[in-house]
Amino acid sequence: MEYTVYTFGGGEILNGVFNAIAMSLNGHDGSLFEPLKRLGLILGAFWAALYALYGDQIKVFTHWIMPMTVFMNLLFVPTATVWILDPVHHYHQKVDNVPYGLAALAGHVSTIGYHITGKIESFFSLPDDLRYQKSGFLFASDIIQKAKTFHITNTDLAENMKSFVGQCVLYDAMLGRKYNIDELRNTDDIWGLVSAHPSQARSFVWRDLKLPD
């Protein structure tokens, strides 16, 4: 049995998690499956014996032995193959010997979420919009990181801003009477701060903007 688990970013991390679970619970020598099973059986048998002495003996079978047998044999003993698919980083990897219960639950839930996300984005986004299925949950941090490298594409406007900052903003920030470096760094409206009280004694050469036709 094979299941596909979709993730938008972090495919390698998810692959490591599933591999760790598969190695721990695959039932082979050196895994945690046998010790955990024995511990559960010992504690369960002790509890069932106490319950049988002071309670209803029938409930020992109906409330513990039968549910435990069904649960273990259906969800933990059989294994399945999980394919991890990360559309953001084009990551596609297979993990074997994953417990069937975990593989089935993760596969069905992630598949439903993947298709719901695709339908919502196809109805509520434009063709050029950033989509969650392409960028993942880290797309916001990527935008913030790239915002540090934004630049003015118009040459004349870029030169005007450079001259304005060098001739007007820099000296006022160094004097600290109108604003200082920390205020420039922490303000939410930097243009409003520097343009509120411009210096009347300083000037710079203005270049007329040449806009494309």
Q: What is the pLDDT of residues 40-91, one digit of tens each?
A: 777 777 777 777 676 666 666 666 667 777 776 666 678 889 999 988 778 8
Higher pLDDT, 103 or 124: 103
Which residues does residue 6 pair with via DSSP β-bridges, in sequence order?
85
Residues 44, 64 contacting (CB under 8 angstroms): yes
pLDDT at residue 135 greater than cutoff 60: no
Residue boundaries of the structural domains of the chain: 2-135, 151-196
pLDDT of residue 61: 64
The mean pLDDT of 171-190, rounded to a whole number, is 83
pLDDT at residue 130 greater than cutoff 60: no
Please state, rounded to an integer, the average pLDDT across all residues of the chain. Answer: 76
pLDDT of residue 28: 54
Residues 29, 103 contacting (CB under 8 angstroms): no
Which residues have a Cβ under 8 Å from the Cβ of 192 and sit 6 or more positions away? none
Identify the top-confidence range among 115-129, 139-153, 181-195.
Answer: 181-195
- Residue 149: what residue type? T
Helix (H) or strand (E) holding 100: helix 100-124
pLDDT at residue 184 greater than cutoff 60: yes
d(CA 104, CA 76): 11
pLDDT of residue 45: 74
Which residues does residue 81 pair with via DSSP β-bridges, in sequence order?
2
d(CA 80, CA 102): 9
pLDDT at residue 139 greater than cutoff 60: no
Q: How confident is the model at residue 108 (pLDDT cuts 50, 70, 90)?
A: very high
Q: Is 206 exposed, middle or buried (CB count within 10 Å of its CB: 0-12, 13-18, 19+)?
A: exposed
Instruction: Look at residues 48, 83, 43 and name the one whose alpha carbon lies nearest to residue 62.
Output: 48
Global model pTM greater than 0.75: no
pLDDT of residue 59: 66
d(CA 119, CA 110): 14
Query: Number of C-alpha atoms within 13 angstroms, CB side, residue 171?
Result: 12
